[in-house]
Amino acid sequence: MTEFLQLLFQGVSLGSTYALVALGFAVVYRSSGVINFAQGAMLLLGAYAVSWLAVDVGLSFALAVLAATVMLALAGAALHGLVLRRVVGQPTFVLVMITIGVGIAVTHGVEAAFGPDRRLLGDPWGAAAFEVGGVTINTVKVWGIAVTAAALGAYFAFDRYTRWGLAMQATAADEEATLSVGVPVRRVHACTWALAGALATLGGLFLAGFPGAPQPALGDAALRAFPAIVLGGLGSPVGAVVGGLLIGVVEVLTSGYAPDSLGTNFYAVAPYVAMIAILLVRPYGLFGARPVERV
């Protein structure tokens, strides 16, 4: 039982980080129909930006996180303004391929700038932990869950109650109609990419927390979050959060309980197995809507 609770805690912790990553994907997909393959590189960039500001520049950690979030938001908006804005109207997969190219360049750019080794994150928590009823609880994981909850709350409030949130929903529903009633659609798109960048900083930050560290392979976590967004339905922010939690718990529980006959490291592919099984039953995810098509 203790082991189960321990794994469940770790699963929820990992799942909440995946939820942040998946929300980054969902926000972009909902507004522009693109799966942002550069999200992994943005996570990496976010974690390294925090590490650089906190360790090399010497800012206090909270300030470093804030500054890194702003930097990544600007980077996201720049990616939209400089590159993606120019290929609007091209087949979706051309856009997806562009994000893949950006991802390759940024990932190797970070590696070229900071070297291939693990770095210090500069967080105040480190490996600190306490015990509750035999379950070891890492401080960084508690912060991760709390910050994720706060960020998700802030996002959904923003989406529901602000003019910009409303503009985003409208743009997602019908871009032309939104443009015709005077919403600056281009700026709305830039705003979603900035949001994706900001979310990536937080996601990257907690992926790099103990026992991880800022290192070039960090971005691969985005690939493991793919099943989360697909499970939730690509354009559904709520689905992204539920899918993220689900995938995190599935991954950690299989790492604890999968029999050896399934092969070593089965937990790494378990989310994909779960995803394929669910998609064959519900082709547009748990929360996605089947698009209505005209013939």
Residue 289, interface with another protein (CB under 8 A)?
no
Three-state SS at 131 = strand
Residue 98, interface with another protein (CB under 8 A)?
yes
Nearer to another protein, 206 or 226 (CB): 226
Residue 259, interface with another protein (CB under 8 A)?
no
> Are the CB atoms for 128 and 139 separated by under 8 Å?
yes
Task: Count residues near another protein (CB under 8 A).
Answer: 48
Rounded distance between C-alpha atoms, residue 120 and residue 267, angstroms: 27
Find, among 252, 295, 224, 268, the residue nearest to 22 by Cα.
224
Nearer to another protein, 9 or 37 (CB): 37
Rounded distance between C-alpha atoms, residue 126 and residue 64, angstroms: 16
Site for another protein in 155-184 (CB under 8 A): none
CB of 295: closest distance to another protein in angstroms?
A: 5
CB of 63: closest distance to another protein in angstroms?
A: 27
Beta bridge partners, 131, equal 136
> Are the CB atoms for 203 and 46 separated by under 8 Å?
yes
Residue 115, interface with another protein (CB under 8 A)?
yes
Contact residue for another protein among 71, 106, 152, 247 (CB under 8 A)? 106
CB of 24: closest distance to another protein in angstroms?
A: 16
Query: Near another protein by CB under 8 A, which window of 10-18, 128-136, 157-165, 282-290?
Result: 282-290
Rounded distance between C-alpha atoms, residue 244 and residue 225, angstroms: 7
Please provide residue 213's backbone torsions phi and psi, each rounded to the nearest 5 degrees. Answer: -165, 160
Helix 61-82 and helix 185-207: axis angle, to 10°?
A: 140
Residue 257, interface with another protein (CB under 8 A)?
no
Residue 26, interface with another protein (CB under 8 A)?
no
> Are the CB atoms for 119 and 214 separated by under 8 Å?
yes
Residue numbers of the site for another protein (CB under 8 A)? 35, 83, 86-87, 90-94, 96-98, 100-109, 111-113, 115, 223, 226-227, 230, 234, 263-266, 268-269, 272-273, 275-276, 279-280, 283-285, 293, 295
